[in-house]
């Protein structure tokens, strides 16, 4: 069986990193600017592709983690996922790396690690990045 599309999102960017991005439904409609650390002007009230990717990955992984927790019928507190996206450069050009941290209250360290490893297997963003970029995943408890 082939890939069955369940939902489609669309966005349009103009002007590159110093431009604008807008989703097809208009919910996202924001300016972009290059961060100062990359030599840009970094204007207040704007974002950049790395922040948008970090937000999407964090939300997607959080959903995958909640699915895994629910499927395993484990009682936890409200989990939190933080992704940090790094833009870097190597011999071949620019690339990304991700540090992903999940905090899962109410479980042991071993359970937390097993849960994030399982979530990494089912998260669509994790699947898309697998073998393409470095993704470092850690689990913490509270």
Tens of pLDDT, residues 25-35 = 999 999 999 99
The residues that bridge with 32 in the sheet, in sequence order, are 47
How confident is the model over 69-92, as a mean pLDDT?
96
Q: Tell which wins on pLDDT, 90 or 1.
A: 90
- CB burial readout 73-95, b (16+ within 10 A) else e: eeebeebebebebeeeeeeeeee
Q: What is the pLDDT of residues 34-57, one digit of tens each?
A: 999 999 999 999 999 999 999 999
Return the pLDDT at 139.
98
pLDDT at 130: 96
d(Cα 34, Cα 41) in Å, to the nearest integer?
A: 6
Alpha helices (runs of H) in the chain, residue ranges in sequence order: 49-71, 109-122, 124-129
Q: What is the pLDDT of residue 19?
A: 98
pLDDT surpasses 90 at 89: yes
Residues 5-14: contacts with CB under 8 Å, at least 24 apart: none
Q: What is residue 1's predicted lDDT score, i.e. its pLDDT?
A: 77
Domains along the chain? 1-47 (2.20.25.10), 49-140 (3.30.300.20)
* pLDDT tens figures, 95-138: 999 999 999 999 999 999 999 999 999 999 999 999 999 999 99
Contact between residue 96 and residue 86 where contact means Cβ atoms under 8 Å apart: yes
Residue range 63-88: average pLDDT? 97
């Amino acid at each position: 069986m082939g890939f069955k599309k369940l939902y489609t999102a669309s966005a349009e960017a103009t002007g590159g990193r110093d431009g604008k991005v807008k989703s097809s439904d208009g919910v996202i409609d924001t300016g972009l600017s290059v961060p100062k650390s990359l030599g840009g002007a970094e204007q207040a009230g704007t974002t950049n592709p790395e922040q948008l990717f970090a937000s999407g990955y964090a939300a997607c992984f959080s959903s995958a983690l909640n699915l895994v927790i629910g499927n395993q019928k484990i009682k936890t507190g409200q989990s939190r996922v933080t992704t940090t996206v790094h833009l870097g450069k190597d011999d071949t050009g620019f690339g990304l790396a991700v540090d992903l941290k999940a905090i899962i209250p109410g479980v042991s360290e071993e359970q937390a690690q097993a849960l994030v490893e399982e979530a990494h297997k089912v998260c669509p963003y994790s699947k898309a990045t697998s073998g393409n970029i470095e993704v470092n995943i850690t689990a913490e408890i509270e």
